[in-house]
Amino acid sequence: MNNDHKPQTPGPAKSIIARRAGFVGLGLMGAHMAANLLKAGWSVTAWNRSSAAAEDFMRLGGSRALNVAALRDEPVIIFMLPDLSFIEDAASGLLAEWRMTPPRPGTLVAVMSSVSPVAVQAFGRAVAEASGGNAVVLDAPVSGGTEGAQRGTLAIMAGGPEDHFGRLLPVLEAMGTTVRRLGELGAGSLAKACNQLIVGSTTAALAEAAELAERSGMDVGALYEVLSGGLAASRVLAFVGPRLAAKDYAPTGPAKFMRKDLSFVLESAAVVGAAVPMASAGAELYGKLTDQGLGDRDLAVVRQAIANLSDTKVTAASMTVLVQETPQ
């Protein structure tokens, strides 16, 4: 009998992740998400471009990294930046560090921003190459706005290998109440793009109805109230409706990101040959909103964009009538 046999230890993908995390991006959403990790008992070291947010985080009990590369030994690193280009730029020093000395096997990189489902797969390959295969990217974008981020009630849509998702799950559950794996890397971002298609289209439809109703002499608040009792009721109406009715465009999330998110729908649809007429119309509308200089306001500002388009149409119609009535 061989008495030298030793019990096998679980591989990195099956091991339980240490309760430590790095967090990159303490913006409107990220600051609350990182704070909820602290509340759940995680040790969190964060990096943020501006020092004020990092100092606020330290007052909550978190630690501050001088740069993203300083997070190289964290078992999980979360990115919550505006787009993948920002993430790639922020992660460049980290990947350079990993090329020289690979991280521990099973290191997790969670992209929680809204990014391209196609591009995040390329980012996953770049991270795997730089880390010698020791780091794995999962995409896990969120929905629920700043209120959901603050309360820890976000919906989180994840993509990536199932075993690694299982290890990341405790991290995600500290920030959200509805957490689902939708498939492999990129599936989470595609789910978020679908979410944004619905939210963006519904908000635009509500804004369009508001402008039509008000210009016809109807009270928008009363309209929304009766709509909420019928088939048109939705969480979008309940959440955005009051701001649309009051023309309250103080940002809870910049409207310009909707244009970006809908471009991901168009990109993904082109890959699989799906027709997306609503996404096409929405991308055009939110593009005009951005062109009007309204992109930094709340998503509800799509009502103002529609009002501006309406005024342009009225002006054009008036000019046509004036030209027709002018004596030749």
pLDDT score recorded for residue 325: 55
Helix (H, G, I), strand (E, B) or coil at 292: coil
Q: Which residues pair with 123 in a beta bridge?
A: none
- Same domain? For 245 and 168 the reply is no
Residue 84 exposed, middle or buried by CB count within 10 Å (0-12, 13-18, 19+): buried
Domains in the chain, number: 2
Would residue 10 count as lying in a domain? no
- Same domain? For 59 and 172 the reply is yes
- Same domain? For 173 and 46 the reply is yes
- Same domain? For 58 and 83 the reply is yes
- Same domain? For 257 and 143 the reply is no
DSSP class of residue 106 equals T
Cα–Cα distance measured from residue 35 to residue 26, given in angstroms and rounded to the nearest whole number: 9
- Same domain? For 131 and 242 the reply is no
- Same domain? For 239 and 141 the reply is no
Q: Kindly report the pTM of this predicted structure.
A: 0.86
Which among 36, 16, 11, 41 has a CA at the least distance from the CA of 26? Answer: 36
pLDDT averaged over consecutive 10-residue blocks of the chain (328 residues)?
37 62 96 98 97 96 98 98 96 98 98 97 98 98 94 98 97 98 98 96 98 98 98 96 97 91 96 97 98 97 98 61 52
- Burial per residue of 188-220, b for 16 or more beta-carbon CB atoms within 10 angstroms, e otherwise: bbbbbbbbbbebbbbbbbbbbbbbebbeeeeeb
Would residue 287 count as lying in a domain? yes
Helix (H, G, I), strand (E, B) or coil at 109: strand
DSSP string, 122-186: HHHHHHHHHTTT-EEEEE--EESHHHHHHHT-EEEEEES-HHHHHHHHHHHHTTEEEEEEEESTT
- Same domain? For 167 and 24 the reply is yes
Q: Which residues pair with 178 in a beta bridge?
A: 155
- Same domain? For 71 and 118 the reply is yes
Active site residues: 192
Point out the domain boundary residue: 139, 158, 183: 183
Would residue 216 count as lying in a domain? yes
Q: What is the residue range of 140's domain?
A: 20-183
For residue 307, give the CATH number of its domain.
1.10.1040.10
Would residue 294 count as lying in a domain? yes
- Same domain? For 110 and 156 the reply is yes
Which amino acid appears at position 303 of this protein?
R
Q: Taking the CB of residue 176, how many other CB atoms lie within 10 A of it?
A: 25
Which among 86, 88, 133, 141 has a CA at the least distance from the CA of 110? Answer: 141
Strands (E), the chain: 20-24, 43-47, 63-64, 76-79, 107-111, 135-139, 142-143, 154-159, 176-183
Q: State the helix-helix crossing angle for 256-272 and 187-215, rounded to 10 degrees.
A: 120
Would residue 323 count as lying in a domain? no
- Same domain? For 179 and 199 the reply is no
- Same domain? For 63 and 116 the reply is yes
pLDDT score recorded for residue 301: 98
Structure token digits, residue 288: 């005009």
Cα–Cα distance measured from residue 109 to residue 97, given in angstroms and rounded to the nearest whole number: 15
pLDDT score recorded for residue 253: 81
